[in-house]
A = this chain, B = another copy of it.
Amino acid sequence: MSIKEQAELVKLASPIMAGSSEEQRNKALMAIVKALEEHKNEIFAANKEDLEQAVKDGVAAPIIKRLKFDETKLKDVIAGINDLIGLKDPLFQKQMKRQLDEGMILVRETCPIGVIGVIFEARPDALIQISSLCIKSGNCVILKGGSETINSNRVLFQIIYDAVRKSGMPENCMLQLEARSEISELLTCNAYVDLLIPRGSNSFVQYIMDNTKIPVMGHADGICHIYVDKEADLDKAVPIIIDAKTQYASACNAVETLLIHQEVLDTFIPKLYSALKENNVTLRGSEQIVHLTGCSESSEKDNYTEYLDLILSAKEVNSVDEAIEHINYFGSHHTDCIITENDDTAEYFMKYVDSAGVYQNCSTRFADGYRYGFGAEVGISTSKIHARGPVGLEGLVSYKYKLYGSGNIVDDYAKGKRQFHFKDLI
């Protein structure tokens, strides 16, 4: 069967999945927990094969750490699924109940999106988290994980799929793709896939966005800024900047560009520069900053660059407005922070910066579903259509309008025989 034919079967299963009760979906999640525990040795064995291959391929140590799936990670994902089971049902929630006229009641109720396609990095725990979020939200899911964990993915998918099936979910509620070549076929399945969530490098996400008619949720660039205001507490600023740059430099929410108010530049830059050097961060500065520190000079291109590395660009600005303009023009609308003790300036910055996350006095690295208390996330969206920022369960549901009538026709209202009497009941 082609991917398209398989995707159609998933689509056909989606209304059944959408009608499943909270109890059924939680039962499926419990079955996953049980199955993961029972089959953990199979999982660890498959993961060992992946790790051995990665070592053979000369994959770097920090990446290998991400590929690894051990007792600790198993414990973490199981805790995550148990949290998810405890969360309020995202489906069948009445967002509105309105009487339109006597004998006619309109209800807006949440429902799943349908079929979600997720293309994600090589991380076995991601497969488990994404599947669980989709099941809890009543969505069918098509998964394509990174090829470096192909053995782990295959075993995990089979375990999860069997558990979900045994707990009564429809045959085609989940599908796993394995070959990279299958992605391009998936991109043509706009008739069957309601939403695509690509995770990975900028160029990969951009490629997906440019080559499909399926709505895409996610982000390509993560060019985050920190603006150090003239009323900043400079002792707070340094550790925040170091954390935002070094805590995980290749993350999308790491800071790339620093904007510093002219009035504090002379005092702040020496302090910052020595901290950056201590943490092996290379600074690229404007002419003034080069003059003050002796760092290398930045160019226009730095304004647009997501380094994903221990590099930081910095320039001075004359006002909060100039900082806002720079961020809105060069940024990627992901997460941007102001360091200031003046709460009015902070509110002003937060109002006019057009980003999914606008922060005061804390690290941009907090932009994450887990840290926001969403339990887990399927990704971070920089779009303003549908979900924005870290996306948890709520971003995986839509709603439908249910209208309960008693023989009502529009012509009566068009001719003025009857009038609407709107009355909210909840």
Contacts and interface: CB of A to CB of B under 8 A. Distances in A.
A14 interface: yes
Contacts of A104: 362, 366
A384 interface: yes
Contacts of A360: 402-405
Contacts of A399: 388-389
A264 interface: no
A241 to B, nearest CB: 10
Given A104-B362, A401-B358, A407-B361, A385 B388 contact: no
A236 B240 CA distance: 67
A195 interface: yes
A384 B113 contact: yes
A226 to B, nearest CB: 12
Contact of A372 (B209, B239, B383, B401): B401
A18 B209 contact: no
A160 B371 CA distance: 45
Interface stretch (A61-69, A180-188, A349-357): A349-357
A204 interface: no
Nearest to A361: B405
A248 B414 CA distance: 11
Nearest to A370: B420
A248 B410 CA distance: 10
A14 B346 CA distance: 19
Contact of A405 (B209, B359, B398): B359
Interface in A366-401: 366-367, 371-373, 383-386, 388-390, 398-401
A402 to B, nearest CB: 5
B410 A243 contact: yes
A210 to B, nearest CB: 7
A383 B18 contact: no
A407 B15 contact: no
A98 B392 CA distance: 15
Interface string A3-41: 000000000001110110000000000000000000000
Copies of this polypeptide in the complex: 2
Given A354-B15, A384-B398, A361 B100 contact: no
Interface in A212-253: 213, 215, 217, 233, 236, 239-240, 242-244, 247-248
Contacts of A371: 100, 410, 413, 420
B383 A215 contact: yes
A248 to B, nearest CB: 8
Interface residues on A, range: 35 or more
Nearest to A239: B409
Contacts of A357: 400-403
Contacts of A386: 385-386
Contact of A366 (B18, B352, B408, B422): B408
A53 interface: no
A287 interface: no
Given A408-B363, A413-B371, A354 B385 contact: no
Interface of A: 14-16, 18-19, 98, 100, 104, 106, 111, 113-114, 194-195, 209-210, 213, 215, 217, 233, 236, 239-240, 242-244, 247-248, 324, 328, 346, 350-363, 365-367, 371-373, 383-386, 388-390, 398-411, 413-414, 420, 422
Closest 4 CB pairs of A and B: A362-B405, A243-B409, A373-B422, A384-B398
Given A111-B354, A371-B420, 16 more contacts: A15-B328, A15-B352, A15-B354, A100-B366, A106-B373, A195-B384, A195-B385, A215-B385, A233-B407, A243-B410, A356-B401, A359-B402, A361-B405, A366-B410, A373-B422, A390-B401
